[in-house]
Structure 1
Amino acid sequence: MASYRNIRAITEIYMVLCLLGSFEQVTSLMCYFCAGSSSKSSCLDAGYFLDGFKNTDGNPHMFKNCTAPFNNLCIIQEYRAGGNIASHLRDCSDGLTFAFPVNETIYNKLRSEAMTPRNRTSCIFNSILQVCLTTCNTDFCNGPQYEAPGTYKPQIPSNHIDRDTPAQ
């Protein structure tokens, strides 16, 4: 009788471990998030982000916890018309979805460049419009970087799972 109980207990433990192991660990990417429609937009001002992280409600509104499927890239997308900023966006992306029109062939080059995040900017232009897309894939890579000693570094929420840290 004791051996049956032991086998049953081991079987139940094994089943629970298998069930837990079958769940995919959800990872997320933290990106700056904002949009503006002029060269005077606060989205272009590094101080705007710093002030946002000092937000007293404990929930800064300038960053986004990008979860699947939109957790592959942080992006900066900028439109210029006549040399002036018409639109500026910081957000996250799945590497296929961006703010520019899906059916416009002129954007295919940008879309193909975005598939390989190398923290670089690609631009396309015609006689009226210039569109630039920057892609990267590390936390807060699409905004101000505070790396000098004594400067502010964004704090990642405690429930965030780092994409580069192996699961424990």
Structure 2
Amino acid sequence: MRTINFTVNGSPCAVSCPPAKTLLDVLREDLKLTASKECCGKGECGSCSVLLNGEVVCSCLILAGQVENQEIVTCEGVGLTSNMDVIQESFVVEGATQCGYCTPGIIVSARAFLNGIDYVPSTDQIKTALGGNLCRCTGYTKIIKAIQTAAEKEKKIIGNVTT
């Protein structure tokens, strides 16, 4: 056991756990942040995606000892039901949630993607950005539309011209 100090969703925290415990298990079991889901356990599906210092990572592949003094953002940190982020609102409006199992990881990845651009992305750009996130329920049409809708609302840009 070791005390690991890091920041989660803007709040400092200290967790006493084995350093080899996965970040996903720390988030779900120790911190009760259950949006991130374990699906494949191999970093292939993206259901457990979180931001580590602003970069999308699969929390099933990150060990607790690796996040000492690091910044983690989960889907709960993107927004909650009472204060949803524009990307979450767009997923609801566009019906992009499907069963919901992969949704938190996709929302985290979409938030990171939209943070890095100032335009409404194309379908191909979104597909590339979500390349590490798998959804077993859909053909991604509503997910892509939700991300474009969020970009339109957030960026207030049509094409490449600011309005």
On whether the aligned pair clears a TM of 0.5, the verdict is no
Bigger share in helix: 2
When the two structures are superposed, what TM-score results if normalisation uses the length of structure 1? 0.24
When the two structures are superposed, what TM-score results if normalisation uses the length of structure 2? 0.24
